[in-house]
Structure 1
Amino acid sequence: RWAHCDDNHAWVEVYIRGRWHFLGACEPEEELDRGWFSGPAGRAILIHSRCFCDYDCGGMQEEWIGREDGVYYLNETASYAKTCRLTVTVKDASGRPVRGARVAVEILNMAEFFPAAALITDENGEAGITMGIGDVRLRAWSGGCVYEKMVFPAQEAGARDSGLKEKRTGEIRTELVLKSGYPFIQEEDAKGRLAGGNNTWEQILLTAPAQAPVSCARQSEEQKGRRQRRLEEAVRLREERFRALLGQLPAGEFPEEKEMLQIAGENAAQLYTFLKKDGNPDRKRLLYSLARKDYKDAPASVLEDHLSCTQRELPEDIYVPYLLCPRIYLEELTPWRSFIRNCFSEEEKSAFTRRPELVWDYIEKNIRYDARLDYSAVCGTPIGCLKLKWGSLLTRKILFVAICRSLGIPARLRRSTMQPEYLENGEFRAPAGLRGKDSPGCLPAPALLTLEAPEAQSGEKWNYGQNWTIGKLEGTGFCTLGYEGICFAGDSLTLELEAGVYRLVTSRRLPGGNQLAAFSVFGLKSGEHRAVELLSGENDEKTMLSDYPARELPELFLWDVSGERQSLAHITGRGTALVAFLGAGEEPTEHVLNELNDYAEQWNGSGAEIIAVLRRPEELKNATLQRALACLSSVRIYFDREEAAEKTAAVMGADPEKLPLLVLTEEGRRGIYSCVGYHVGSVDLILQIFLLRKKDGKEENDDNINRKAE
């Protein structure tokens, strides 16, 4: 999880002559220790590698930073970023050191405090970690007691002039004193259940590590040219292969599924075979119920297995997603319906159909599990779970849903809590074995939480997993609920939640990568209806651009599609424009083009012009670029033949070897803000800056009009 943008990445290292070196995965460079991600890696708080056994973990040169189930994590941060040593001392209420306490180092990413590492304290109650110089939240727990606090290494290091000049700064020490129960919440009712809280918000500014890119090997011009030719050839071969595959399918037979077949690529023939077999309307229904990624690898034989169910009187919005659909969570798609039906006797299937509760009873009695042998990033399949009689809690939940659907019972994993549920008397309910001891019979009345979230003045939207999340307290930590894709109706949203303690987190990303964050912890009782207004730090131009002074760009020239040479000042005119120097086909540019596609409606309504600058005319054929151009209404294409990107980067203080380079300009040659390379969220940030400039300009104009009127 990056600290400076809302995303993450993984890459490959190779061990050569006693040292680990890095390289890209599908975009290797001509030299080792080069990659488009090297800049972001230099701003990381934590970079780890994973070892799937405990062989020699004590003797490795890398710092061991914890274990999760069957996976061991080794700290590689010092190889990429400037670091500090953070030492945490955990004490009990009496001031005695706590041995064996766990300490989570949490990074604010995608509006959640993500536990990037979990340390264990020694006999002195201490645990330490080498980490990038960025702000984190620490959470310590032991024996039901817990405490958490923010630590600010980035701000402390920034206060010391020499703090960021050395590869490794000094040690930062902090202390956590454990308390009974979660901080800020008191016990209110007779049963001692956690409740209360008054929706007070705590606001914080989190500073990301400063830009300190990895020292990369330099490339010769010959190497650059060879790499570029190889990448272009790879793109050409891939696109030709896809076109040939699609060309083998009868044109126009399934016009509504044209995009689906294009996404499928080499798997398009499998989808076509499935669609073509007969006129069963469930064929299209099933395909549209899948995730987009399923189109690329779902075999026709697997899809065929899942047509063996009937709608009966079920409404469409129940039948398709919760009975017909073969996708339950993130497991591999397999033909589990026929397997499950053959796995049980007629008596067992009849009993399960009459009482779906018995399905979970069967799973608990017959499917074993040992967390020490697990790897939680991978879900087991229903077939594998039944064959091995083995599966994690999540895999067993997936199996419950699969058995129910195989027997004609609509079932699902509840998106917010990942709890399995089956349909009974028109309502979804969890098996009794998963509802807890307090509710063996009827489900308790849910709590309702209404979030009031007026749009920011700049027009920014509230997007789950980007600028807000909600988590439920489970034991000694908050588990983020799965509300991805949920939308506000106007300026409010009502969630149906179980009784418990919740934490709302909001985050506003600033252009330099820092975050204005706020969080509120509160309890909800069964049947309660509570309203909370989401809080987010107000953006203003001073806050957004405090680290980005405007700079005068040199006289630059670009070439239009007709071959005419024009100055940048003439192209942009007196208005504000986004000048985007692109590297079509390269990973960072693909991110930017996809973001432009996602925000096309906002850009089209903003009045902003986009100047897309390519290196060569051939790049116009890039499929991602073509999709973005089809959605955006105010894009003009130019070509860079005179190193305009390098000259612009030099003036704006950006890496001249990286693309894309995005520059927001006004009045021709005045650069307001720029970012370069891999920077997820850059399109939205630049849009917010533009809208703030536009609003401030309107207010200034209104002031002038008012003064003239007076």
Structure 2
Amino acid sequence: MMTSTIDEQLLQHIEEKFQYKRNLAKHRERELFGVFEQALTDEECVLLKFLYAYMPLHDLADYDGEFFLAHVRRTLQTRELVPWGSRIPDYMFMNFVLPYRVNNENIDGNREVIFHELYGRVKDKSMKDAILETNYWCHEKATYVGTDQRTVSPLTLMRTALGRCGEQSTLAVAALRSMGIPARQCYTPRWAHCDSNHAWVEAWADGEWYFLGACEPEGRLNEGWFKAPSRRAMLVNTRVSADYNGPEETCSNHPWYTEINLLGNYAPHKTITIKVVNEKGKPTPAEVHFQMYNFAEFYSVSTLPTDENGVVKFTTGYGDLLIHVRNDQGYSYRKISVGEADVFEVAIESNLDHAGALDWDMVPPPEIPDKSDDMMTDEERHSNDNRVQHGTATRAAFVDTFWNAEQAEALAQELGLPAERVWKILQTARGNCPEIASFLQEQTPRHGEWALKLLESLREKDLQDTMVPSLVDHLEGALPYRDRAMEESLFVPYVLCPRVHFEMIAPYRTFFQQEISDADKVLYTEKPQALAERLAQEIKIVNDLDRYTGMAAPEGTFALKCADRLSRDICFVAMARSLGIPARLEPLNALPQYWQAGEWHDASFHTERQEAGAAPVEAAGGCIQFSRSDNEGEQEAAYYQNFTIARLENGVYRTLTFPFGEKDVYDKPIEVMSGEYRLTTGTRLSDGTVLVRLSCFTVPVEDVALVPIVFRKEEVHVPVLGTVTEEQWRVITEAAALEIPQQGLVLAWLDPEREPSKHIARELRELKSELDEWGGRIALMVEEQRNRGEFNMEGLPIRTSYDEDAEGACLQAIQPSITEWNGQEYPLVLIVDQQYRIRYQSQGYKLGIGADIVKTVKNM
């Protein structure tokens, strides 16, 4: 029995935290804790209490005890069935098999579904082979696509067959745990050498952890396309929902979860010491943010408190960091190069003045070649290629069952709706098409085009995991308010649409319309601020309990009567919309607002006790107006790509949330809260270094701050890296009929099933206008064994071709001219001028190759 192996002190700790959560959730006592009245074994009771003890607040709000008990019993049953179950230590089982949640996905019954699909394929294998087989199964279910930050559930990913790396790794961890195999999602919060991040998986077999690329199987463990970039990481971590006391270094101290540092498994690293002193040079305790430049902001990859002597240690890679410190005396920051010292001192200032501009070069860890002698054999690679090809075909056959344009057109004709709009919705819904089509068939005859307009108000992922009951609740709950005097442009996004932030869409309108009295409905409609005051009185704000905020469904928040601030604000917006009051979270600062008398008003929760470290709910307004610099050839400003602005709040800069890639920012006033701000601009060089400029400025109350966006200029040199001989080029032209125009040729070999190759295809689409203007040719190639399906040419530059490199003839011919050739990594991108000289080369994972191409061809 597990209870006999658990330390008494840990059992007491679990009991204390369980009782704390039970008290927090007292308004849902019966729904959550009624299961303890059932006949439970000692083991079931301990494991159930363990889950509750470390459960996020939003799970207490949105799910019931029966779900958690069924999960515990399913997991215990699996442990008995799988041959390796008895070999898994109890602490490993509790922390890396039992948890029902991997990240911030919505919870579903995936463990039961996956077990029945997968168990027969792994039950007779060793643990290591079972891990590999599980990943082949995951590959059959999903492949990579870039999406928004909401993490869909494993069953949704299986339904749509597309997801980002965080969703793929969530599926893979869920699948491994469904087979009783300890697994965890590993994460580099930000890369240092390019503007992105990545998530993958570690799985435990017979006493050792191994890594693998989720849904991207290799022929053996500890292989993956991210292996080379991970050697340049500054941090690799994973989160454990427990007071975990394993052998790994802790990289965040939190009472409700533990983040552990796994960098030592991947990259050269060292432990640095940060010493914080006050203005008199005396040691002082502080909060230390270890920040990396990425997506044009300085992002805190880890936040740690110092000890009473102002000292904290952190293990990281050999690149540059910004160390930002704060306490009640003030704040400060310092750029450091990790390799230059072991101890770095940062002085807190009570009145920090950074007038003017600061220029820094943020240098990533250097590239490190793979010197391993234990490379995959040709037999392993060939076997894996065959399995990947089979998995791709299996997934493609499933995708072929999705609705097509002809079916969408027939449905549109049946319902009298515009065919193009219906097809766009159904195409986006993918495997959720039957649910969306059923909603349209049921509701269009009753409500006309409004059913379609509701669907069009949603985000892509909403169409893939929102079901008919939710859609009906929101449609029928909103339409009675259509006769109020408001424009459709206000009604659709701020009343009809159920999407508020990044929460899971669930029904809530019928609930709130029944819960709120008729008298209160009249009061709140006339005075929406009264609704905010009610929520301020009824909902207790509990911060710093969950890693992710804004996750609770509105009905759950209202029923639980406690929430993080963002979930409370989402609840306010949802309740307002349920009463026909236009409401939203203000785009830049996510403040709750309601529409009244022709303008937006902030909802004030002034009766609540403000949480420590939170920005004031109300702040005076001002404006920022950006202008272009006078520098010739200045790059185009694009938000989160090469510039951001951040507001100073309680000693830390918080980045404002403009849309990603937004370029329409010049010469117009942009409404923001008044206060102290910092503009960050960055020019990313080909080696990963960033030329950063920081400019601090003040936004006065009810006035405009004029802010020029200035970039540090890169001196672009286009060297000759190699020359292709006439004989080499003859082989290439015979195999692929390639000619080099005067402007040059971009020649790239892809592995279309892998994430890095999908990134370069996306970047070429994003830079289509610049590359069309250039006028050269882009030749995309794929080796025969990697040509696993159709390649989407839509949206690529007009002079782009895609061809199979039969037997790899072209690649073999050009290899002698490539520097530091590594046949394991894709994409391989070359730029060749008309004199057959190689002017650019990139191999393996890197974001920004498209921008490198544009810079190179413009300066050849």
* Range into which the TM-score falls when normalised by the shorter chain: 0.7 to 0.9
CA distance in 1, matches of 2:352, 2:331: 6
Q: How many residues align?
A: 646
5 Å-filtered alignment, 1:653-672, equals 653-672=820-839
- The letter of the residue matching 2:401 is A
**Which structure dedicates a bigger proportion of its chain to helix?**
2
Quote the residue 2:749 is aligned against.
Answer: 581
CA distance in 1, matches of 2:434, 2:630: 45
Task: Give the gaps of 5 or more residues in structure 1.
Answer: 157-170, 185-196, 694-710
Partner-residue secondary structure (3-state), 1:246: coil
Query: How far is the alpha carbon of 1:236 from its aligned partner?
Result: 1.7
Per-residue CA deviation, residues 10-68 of structure 1 (Å, 9 max, x unaligned), is 11112234332211111121211111111221111111111111132xxx321112135
Whether the 8 Å contact between 1:582 and 1:612 is mirrored in structure 2 is yes
The verdict on how the C-alpha distance between 1:422 and 1:558 changes in structure 2, with shifts beyond 3 A counting, is farther
5 Å-filtered alignment, 1:240-639, equals 240-246=397-403, 250-253=407-410, 254=412, 255-256=419-420, 257-277=422-442, 278-279=444-445, 280-308=448-476, 309=478, 310-311=481-482, 312-376=484-548, 379-433=551-605, 446-453=621-628, 460-485=635-660, 487-489=662-664, 491-542=666-717, 545=718, 549-553=720-724, 555-556=727-728, 565-566=734-735, 571-616=739-784, 619=787, 621-622=789-790, 625-626=791-792, 628-639=793-804
Query: How far is the alpha carbon of 1:402 from its aligned partner?
Result: 0.4
Partner-residue secondary structure (3-state), 2:563: coil
Whether the 8 Å contact between 2:749 and 2:780 is mirrored in structure 1 is yes
CA distance in 1, matches of 2:839, 2:789: 31
CA distance in 1, matches of 2:273, 2:635: 39
Query: How far is the alpha carbon of 1:107 from its aligned partner?
Result: 0.3
The reply to whether residue 62 of structure 1 matches residue 227 of structure 2 is no
Query: How far is the alpha carbon of 1:558 from its aligned partner?
Result: 9.1
Partner-residue secondary structure (3-state), 2:283: coil
Q: Normalising by structure 1, what TM-score? A: 0.85
CA distance in 2, matches of 1:503, 1:206: 17
CA distance in 1, matches of 2:821, 2:469: 51
CA distance in 1, matches of 2:198, 2:831: 27
Whether the 8 Å contact between 1:581 and 1:613 is mirrored in structure 2 is yes
5 Å-filtered alignment, 1:5-404, equals 5-56=194-245, 60-67=246-253, 70-99=256-285, 101-153=286-338, 156=340, 171-184=341-354, 197=355, 200-212=356-368, 217-246=374-403, 250-253=407-410, 254=412, 255-256=419-420, 257-277=422-442, 278-279=444-445, 280-308=448-476, 309=478, 310-311=481-482, 312-376=484-548, 379-404=551-576
CA distance in 1, matches of 2:702, 2:651: 24
The verdict on how the C-alpha distance between 1:317 and 1:347 changes in structure 2, with shifts beyond 3 A counting, is same
Whether the 8 Å contact between 1:245 and 1:265 is mirrored in structure 2 is yes
Whether the 8 Å contact between 1:43 and 1:212 is mirrored in structure 2 is yes
Partner-residue secondary structure (3-state), 1:352: helix
The verdict on how the C-alpha distance between 1:437 and 1:372 changes in structure 2, with shifts beyond 3 A counting, is closer
Whether the 8 Å contact between 1:473 and 1:501 is mirrored in structure 2 is yes
Query: How far is the alpha carbon of 1:530 from its aligned partner?
Result: 2.2
CA distance in 2, matches of 1:504, 1:435: 34
Query: How far is the alpha carbon of 1:276 from its aligned partner?
Result: 2.6
- The letter of the residue matching 2:337 is F
- The letter of the residue matching 1:357 is Q
Q: Which moved more, 1:344-353 or 1:671-680?
A: 344-353
Query: How far is the alpha carbon of 1:387 from its aligned partner?
Result: 2.3
CA distance in 1, matches of 2:752, 2:497: 36
CA distance in 2, matches of 1:273, 1:130: 53
Q: Which moved more, 1:309-318 or 1:28-37?
A: 309-318
The verdict on how the C-alpha distance between 1:259 and 1:296 changes in structure 2, with shifts beyond 3 A counting, is same
- The letter of the residue matching 1:396 is R
The verdict on how the C-alpha distance between 1:377 and 1:613 changes in structure 2, with shifts beyond 3 A counting, is farther
Query: How far is the alpha carbon of 1:489 from its aligned partner?
Result: 4.4
Quote the residue 2:93 is aligned against.
Answer: none
Partner-residue secondary structure (3-state), 2:641: coil
Per-residue CA deviation, residues 381-410 of structure 1 (Å, 9 max, x unaligned), is 112212222211111111111001110000
CA distance in 2, matches of 1:120, 1:245: 51
CA distance in 2, matches of 1:618, 1:558: 24
CA distance in 2, matches of 1:214, 1:342: 63
Q: Normalising by structure 2, what TM-score? A: 0.71
**Which structure dedicates a bigger proportion of its chain to strand?**
1
Task: Give the gaps of 5 or more residues in structure 2.
Answer: 1-189, 413-418, 611-616
The verdict on how the C-alpha distance between 1:486 and 1:652 changes in structure 2, with shifts beyond 3 A counting, is closer
Query: How far is the alpha carbon of 1:580 from its aligned partner?
Result: 1.2
Whether the 8 Å contact between 1:458 and 1:691 is mirrored in structure 2 is no
CA distance in 2, matches of 1:611, 1:12: 34
Whether the 8 Å contact between 2:296 and 2:682 is mirrored in structure 1 is yes
Greater RCO structure (CA 8 Å; 6+ sep) = 1
Query: How far is the alpha carbon of 1:479 from its aligned partner?
Result: 0.5
Query: How far is the alpha carbon of 1:370 from its aligned partner?
Result: 3.0
The verdict on how the C-alpha distance between 1:425 and 1:114 changes in structure 2, with shifts beyond 3 A counting, is same
CA distance in 2, matches of 1:322, 1:221: 58
Partner-residue secondary structure (3-state), 2:259: strand
Query: How far is the alpha carbon of 1:549 from its aligned partner?
Result: 4.9
The verdict on how the C-alpha distance between 1:36 and 1:633 changes in structure 2, with shifts beyond 3 A counting, is same
